[in-house]
Amino acid sequence: MYAFDIERPTTIADAIEAMGSEEAQALGGGQTLIPTLKQRLAAPAKLVCLSSIKEMQGICTADDGALCIGGGTCHADVAAGAGAYPALAALAGNIGDPAVRNRGTIGGSLANNDPSACYPAAVLGSGATVVTNNRKIAADDFFEGMFTTSLEEGEIITEVRFPVPEKANYQKFEQPASRFALAGVFVAKYADGVRVAVTGASEDGVFRWSEAEAALSSDFSAGAVEGLSLSGDGMISDMHGSGDYRAHLVGVLTRRAVAAAA
């Protein structure tokens, strides 16, 4: 690990000021960044630790019924406190192990945008809004590819706002050592249609399966997607599974998610 300075701001304003320093990098729960630093794959001059910013932690319900989760809220707190959105709470409760769930944060996970992470599927599948220190970003505009988002330099995720659906479910086929998704599917039914988001499968990261959305918006049943399939082209292929295998998993998990939600 290379040498670096660290700051622990207690307000968002102080964090933004600290992030203005050259080669500064935000530190959420550190579940990805700390191992990266240990392997000397990154060398920030300064880490800005966000864990002491109370205004970025906690869960509440907005006047419009949306579930609002602070960007610094850890996975374990989402699992325990997102009862108004059971599918999201269940997803958070199955991330990693207890150590990861008590350190990792929703904002850190989304900013990192690992192609096999769970939260991106929930955010995209819910049509959530990612709130930063200076703007609001729709889920469809936030994710831009593997480990890439629309966040600008020095921008911090302060909150995520989830519209609560009529029905929803998340199904994940785990890589047993890491508990990341070999494939994961989040299905959410709203009054104006159904959203289906897939993680863990594509080389481009999380994506919406539009063909399944159209079928389920007409008939919200597992049978509606029975004949649908995805191509293995462009899917992740590694020692854990081929692209064709992951494409097959997406279909299986989508049917399971719909059946569980319905």
pLDDT band at 185 (very low <50, low <70, confident <90, very high): very high
DSSP character at residue 39:
T
With cut-offs at 50, 70 and 90, classify the pLDDT of residue 46.
confident
Mean pLDDT check: name the lowest of 1-5, 240-244, 252-256. 1-5
Residue 204's pLDDT is 95
pLDDT band at 4 (very low <50, low <70, confident <90, very high): confident
Q: pLDDT tens-digit profile of 161-174?
A: 999 999 999 999 99
Q: What is the DSSP string of 231-245?
A: -STTB--BTTB-HHH
Q: Which residue has the tokens 């970025």?
A: 56
CA distance 217 to 46: 48
Over 90: is that where the pLDDT of 178 sits? no
pLDDT single digits (tens) 80-92: 999 999 999 999 9
What six digits make up the tokens of 162? 């989830």
State what percent of residues in the chain have pLDDT above 70: 100
Q: What is the pLDDT of residue 250?
A: 98
- Write out the residue limits of the CATH 3.30.465.10 domain(s) in the chain: 5-162
What pLDDT sits at residue 189?
Answer: 98
32 confidence band (pLDDT: 50, 70, 90): confident
Distance CA 70, CA 166 (A): 23
pLDDT band at 29 (very low <50, low <70, confident <90, very high): confident
The span from the CA of 191 to the CA of 220, in Å, is 12
* Unique residue bearing structure tokens 């029975």: 226
Class of domain 167-261: alpha beta
The predicted pLDDT at position 44 comes to 85
pLDDT at residue 135, rounded to an integer: 97
Query: How do residues 110-151 score in pLDDT, each as one tens digit?
Result: 999 999 999 999 999 999 999 999 999 999 999 999 999 999
Hey, what amino acid is at 248? H
Q: Examine the pLDDT at 3 and tell me if it is beyond 90.
A: no
Q: Class for domain 5-162, per CATH?
A: alpha beta
Q: Which segments of the chain belong to CATH 3.30.390.50?
A: 167-261
